[in-house]
Structure 1
Amino acid sequence: MDLAQFDLPRYLSMLPLFQEMKPPELQRLGQGSRLRQLARGDEVFHIGEQCNEFHVTVSGQIKLFAISPAGQEKIIEIVGPGNSFAEALMFTDKPYFINAQALTDTLLLSVSKQSVLQEIETDPRFCMRMLAGLSRRLHGLVNDVQAYALHSGVERVIGYLMRDLPDGGKGGAEDELAQRVTLPVSKAAIASRLSMTPEYFSRVLHELEAKGLIVIDKRDIHIPDPQRLTGYPLR
Structure 2
Amino acid sequence: MELSSHASLYRSGEPVRDAWLLCSGSVVRFQPLEDGGRRAIEVVQGPQLLNLGETFSATHYRSSCESSSRCILVAIDMRVLRPMISAEPALSASIIEALARRLSATETDSRGHHRSTTGAQRILDYLLEQAGEPGRLAGESTVTLNATKKVIASQVGLTPEAFSRSLRQLIDQGVLVVDKRNFHIQHAALLDTGLGDAGHRLSFARKTRRTATDMRNGLPPGALINLCGRLRFLSQQLAIASARLVWEIAPADARIRLRQFDGEFERTLARLRKLPLEAALEEPLAAVLSTWPAYRQALLSTAATAQDRLKLFRLSEAVLNVADHLTSVAAQCAGTPDARYVNVAGRNRMLSQRIGKLFLFRELVDTQEEIDDQISASIVEFDANLDELRQGSRRLPELIAQLDEVAQQWERFSAALAPDPSRMNRNRHARLLLAEGDRLLRYVDTAVKLYERLTK
SS in 2 for 1:104: coil
CA contact (8 A) 1:188 1:198 kept: yes
**For residue 201 of structure 1, what is the amino acid of its counterpart?**
F
Deviation string 1:169-207 (CA, Å, 9 cap, x unpaired) is x23xxx512443333322122111111112211111112
Q: 1:137 to 1:178 in 2, by over 3 A?
A: closer
Alignment partners' CA distance in 2, 1:54 and 1:197: 32
Deviation string 1:66-97 (CA, Å, 9 cap, x unpaired) is 12222222110111231112333333452101
CA contact (8 A) 1:59 1:82 kept: yes
**2:14 maps to what in 1?**
49
TM-score normalised by the chain length of structure 2: 0.40
Alignment partners' CA distance in 2, 1:184 and 1:92: 29
**2:171 maps to what in 1?**
209
Asked if 1:166 corresponds to 2:133, the answer is yes
Return the offset for 1:134: 1.2
53-62 or 126-135: which moved more?
126-135
Sequence identity percentage: 24
Gaps of 5+ in 1: 1-35
CA contact (8 A) 2:22 2:72 kept: yes
**For residue 95 of structure 1, what is the amino acid of its counterpart?**
H
Larger Rg: 2
**2:223 maps to what in 1?**
none
Return the offset for 1:234: 6.0
TM-score normalised by the chain length of structure 1: 0.74
SS in 2 for 1:94: coil
Q: 1:165 to 1:229 in 2, by over 3 A?
A: farther
Asked if 1:67 corresponds to 2:14, the answer is no
- Report how many aligned residue pairs link the two structures: 194
User: What RMSD in Å do the two structures reach over aligned CA positions?
Assistant: 2.1
**1:143 maps to what in 2?**
108
Return the offset for 1:112: 1.2
SS in 2 for 1:181: strand
CA contact (8 A) 2:30 2:65 kept: yes
**2:180 maps to what in 1?**
218
Asked if 1:111 corresponds to 2:62, the answer is no
**1:228 maps to what in 2?**
189
Alignment partners' CA distance in 1, 2:75 and 2:50: 10
**1:96 maps to what in 2?**
61
Gaps of 5+ in 2: 192-200, 206-456
Alignment partners' CA distance in 2, 1:234 and 1:191: 17
CA contact (8 A) 1:46 1:98 kept: yes
CA contact (8 A) 1:65 1:75 kept: yes
SS in 2 for 1:128: helix
CA contact (8 A) 1:213 1:228 kept: yes
**For residue 232 of structure 1, what is the amino acid of its counterpart?**
L
Asked if 1:85 corresponds to 2:85, the answer is no
Q: 1:81 to 1:161 in 2, by over 3 A?
A: closer
Q: 1:80 to 1:214 in 2, by over 3 A?
A: closer
Question: Which structure has more helix as a fraction of its residues?
Answer: 2
